[in-house]
Chains A and B, each alone.
Chain A
Amino acid sequence: MGSFGVVIPPESATIIAFIVVGYFILITAFGTYFARFSSNINDFFYSGQRFSWWIPAASMVATGIGSYSYLKYSQQGYETGMSSTLTYLNDWFIVPFFMFGWLPIVYYSRVKSIPEYFERRFNKTARYIAVTIILTYMFYYIGYNLFTIGVAVEGMFGLNPLYTVPVIAFILGAYVTFGGQTAVIFTDLFQGIMLYIAGGTAIFLGIYALGGFGDWWGYLPVSHRLPFVHLTEDPKFNTSGLFWGEALAGSIAFTFMNQGFLMRYLTIKSMNDARKANIFNLLVTLPLSAIIVGAVGWIAKSLIVKQEVLGGPLAGYNFVEIEDTFHTFIIVAWETLKQNSILFGFIIAALTAALMSTIDTLINACAAIGIYDIYKPLIKPDADDKHYLMAARWASGISTVIGLLLVIWFAKQKGSLMSIHYKGIMVIIPAIVTTIFLGAFWKRFNAKAACISMIAGSAITLLTVGFPDWITPLSDFVLGPSNGKYIYFRALFGMVATGLIGVIVTLFTEPADEAHTRGLTADTLDDAMITYKGGGLPNHKLGEKVKGLQVSIDESLTGLQVSVTELVRKAMQAEEGDIVYLSDDRWWLGGLRSEHLRLGPCHEGSDTEVKVSSNTFKAAHLLEGKTALVEKII
């Protein structure tokens, strides 16, 4: 049974199906549990900006690995070797722009969505052009992820995707709709662990089957050991294309305009912690993910070579043959697990985990745009928080349904999964990515230029689908491939075209005024910090976290105020009016029970006592009898 390239007996298929369904139920229950932490609209989308860096950072593992990643990268690893890691390891070049440019702009200006930034930085027209492009990008991704898992399920169990995909979408929609961002983050955290365990199991058993690490490396051809592919040889996978199209355009798109990823950073308690999450993601998460999704392909290549050297199968294993490389992961995992249904079921559950964890983030992000960019400004501007929370849940449901409907369109497309993917993404992203970049780093860039460059840039990029020869001069200029198949260079072309239009229009029109740049560009970040703090200069003195404090109630404290003793204030290097962070001091909660507060007048009680009002105590989800920590934020 099945067409994954392996023959799975019906009884094994039943066991695998049970494990996958059981996993789905477990995840749904886990996610909906966290609905209790979404008491208002800010909680629903941004978890109240309360988390320590490591929770969103760890949950990004699962978000960054899609359902297709295992299949796609194992295939790439088998065909071209360890260069499959390149797309995960080439992001450092743009880090300065992100970590000290775009991220603090978004964080301190407290924008809820990228289109909102467009309205504040440019105008309403720019906002709605951005909404259109970003939602197209998000829906495309949701539909594509659902479609790929439908194809995988069909291959394995012979079930029609038109029946299985709606069921999967319903389960996903359930916990995102009711749980919100907190549910998404915690389920992704759990699923990230699952992904690593499952991928690690497949890798460990594969290397074990080969006879150890030395044999794996020894039987891997030199071309497959290298971290880079040929500069231009393969039109679909070459170093020059990967640099310009993936390291620049793709990485900027993924980090700058992926609302789902940005929302993860916006859940973090401070800018310093957001930077830590970014560093962790680049230095730990991405390299590990590159190994997890690609290593089975490298093992497959080594295994095939060793079989050829031995003149037969490895001792104790079946002869492994890979006819359709798209199924590399499944074939090698099935055989090196010695056709163990339970372990294989666990691996397949991890594949579905990859799907769920990518889509839940996208659904939540689409809902955020739906509420903050469409419903609130255009339909119901003055409703209460409860109403928006309900609307947000509806928006999550609607986003899921739209993604589901797109599956019908994807099912009619021809070509490989990879080509369907890039056909859309490389056309959608260039114009908006460039506009974000110019808006954030060039103060003079104005609304007229933003609108014209987004529309004209998108149109020109779209036209290159029909006229790919337009890209040739640009590709030749940087010594890229000249073969008419410009998967990655289309994005670079779109960025260059959009950038040129933006620069020319800006130079012929009046510069953006101060109201549209203050706190919204890299050179006005000090203003953004002042606005974030709510007045007063930011306090950058380095202080300590003060732990082990007993929380007591003082109803004389107004709003979200906190009071500590003079000694604690000095240890934090804080001043009255600064924003401080009060949290349950059990580190492993990662800030789930916490709140940002304003430092009020010092009290004269015990140095181990921190005072807040009962409303603040409740808003922070603190528990009686548990100690807390305080830390100055800004």
Chain B
Amino acid sequence: MYKKKLNPKFWGGCAGVLAICYFYPRILVSLLGEENPWTSYFYMYGFGLVTFIIGMFVILKSGALNPRRGNERMWMHLLLGGFVFFSTFHGIWIILALNIPYLGEGIQ
């Protein structure tokens, strides 16, 4: 193997992500059940958040996003705000879907 090895923190991070991938959906299903619409919501946004955080970490650490450069602080806030927007939007959508009466009782 080539001399320079990867940072142990990197391998620790990988193990952490794998652990989340395995345990998170199982915990979710045991708490809410597979049929619950919130299970799908938290599955998507839970794994989505992990992906998003890794993305933010990578671009900040590499300097590709530098909040002190030009207007990049604004872009950083927009990225974070966008995630909050979509997760809130989908959450409100589920609440509206579940709580407004259905007029076709008995018809699926």
- Distance in angstroms from A462 CB to nearest chain B CB is 25
A96-B65, A511-B4 are known contacts. Are A248 and B82 too (CB-CB below 8 A)? Answer: no
**Docked complex Cα distance between A279 and B35 (Å):** 33
- Distance in angstroms from A505 CB to nearest chain B CB is 11
**Docked complex Cα distance between A541 and B72 (Å):** 11
Which residues does chain B contribute within 8 Å of A441, judged by CB atoms? Answer: 58, 62
- Distance in angstroms from B13 CB to nearest chain A CB is 13
A465-504 contacts to B (CB < 8 Å) = 477-479
**Docked complex Cα distance between A101 and B44 (Å):** 23
Q: Does A230 sit at the interface, judged by CB under 8 A?
A: yes
A282-B82, A306-B104, A309-B103 are known contacts. Are A240 and B43 too (CB-CB below 8 A)? Answer: yes
Using C-beta atoms within 8 Å of the partner chain, give the interface range for chain A: 35 or more
The binding surface of chain A is classed by DSSP as: helix
**Docked complex Cα distance between A479 and B39 (Å):** 12
Q: Is the CB of A510 within 8 A of B82?
A: no
Q: Is the CB of A217 within 8 A of B21?
A: no
Q: Is the CB of B39 within 8 A of A231?
A: yes
Which residues does chain A contribute within 8 Å of B43, judged by CB atoms? Answer: 231, 239-240, 243
Q: Is the CB of B69 within 8 A of A95?
A: no
A95-122 contacts to B (CB < 8 Å) = 95-97, 99-101, 104
Q: Is the CB of B2 within 8 A of A228?
A: no
Q: Does A523 sit at the interface, judged by CB under 8 A?
A: yes
Q: Is the CB of B101 within 8 A of A218?
A: yes
Q: Is the CB of B55 within 8 A of A305?
A: no
A95-B55, A231-B43, A525-B63 are known contacts. Are A478 and B25 too (CB-CB below 8 A)? Answer: yes
Q: Does A125 sit at the interface, judged by CB under 8 A?
A: no
Q: Does A522 sit at the interface, judged by CB under 8 A?
A: yes
Choose one: B65, B69, B86, B93; the contact of A92 (CB below 8 Å): B86
**Docked complex Cα distance between A441 and B93 (Å):** 35
Q: Is the CB of A231 within 8 A of B82?
A: no
Q: Does A227 sit at the interface, judged by CB under 8 A?
A: yes
Q: Is the CB of B104 within 8 A of A308?
A: yes
- Distance in angstroms from A582 CB to nearest chain B CB is 21
- Distance in angstroms from A194 CB to nearest chain B CB is 28
Q: Is the CB of A511 within 8 A of B2?
A: yes
**Docked complex Cα distance between A268 and B71 (Å):** 18
The residue in chain A whose Cβ has the minimal distance to the Cβ of B51 is A93
Choose one: B1, B21, B44, B65; the contact of A239 (CB below 8 Å): B44
Q: Does B15 sit at the interface, judged by CB under 8 A?
A: no
**Docked complex Cα distance between A239 and B37 (Å):** 10
Q: Does A163 sit at the interface, judged by CB under 8 A?
A: no
**Docked complex Cα distance between A479 and B107 (Å):** 31
Q: Is the CB of A92 within 8 A of B48?
A: yes
Choose one: A96, A220, A283, A521; the contact of B55 (CB below 8 Å): A96
Q: Is the CB of A219 within 8 A of B44?
A: no
Choose one: B21, B41, B63, B65; the contact of A477 (CB below 8 Å): B21
Additional A-B contacts beyond A305-B104, A478-B22 (13; CB < 8 A): A93-B49, A95-B52, A96-B59, A100-B64, A218-B103, A223-B108, A230-B34, A231-B40, A243-B48, A478-B47, A508-B2, A509-B2, A540-B69
Per CB-CB distance, the 4 closest pairs between chain A and chain B, nearest first, are A96-B55, A225-B97, A228-B40, A523-B62
Residues of B within 8 A of A (CB): 1-2, 4-6, 21-22, 25-26, 29, 34-35, 37, 39-41, 43-44, 47-49, 51-52, 55-56, 58-59, 62-65, 69-71, 75, 78-79, 82-83, 85-86, 90, 93-94, 96-98, 100-104, 107-108
Q: Can you identify 8 A-B contacts, CB atoms within 8 angstroms?
A: A92-B48, A95-B79, A218-B100, A226-B94, A230-B40, A240-B43, A306-B104, A542-B70
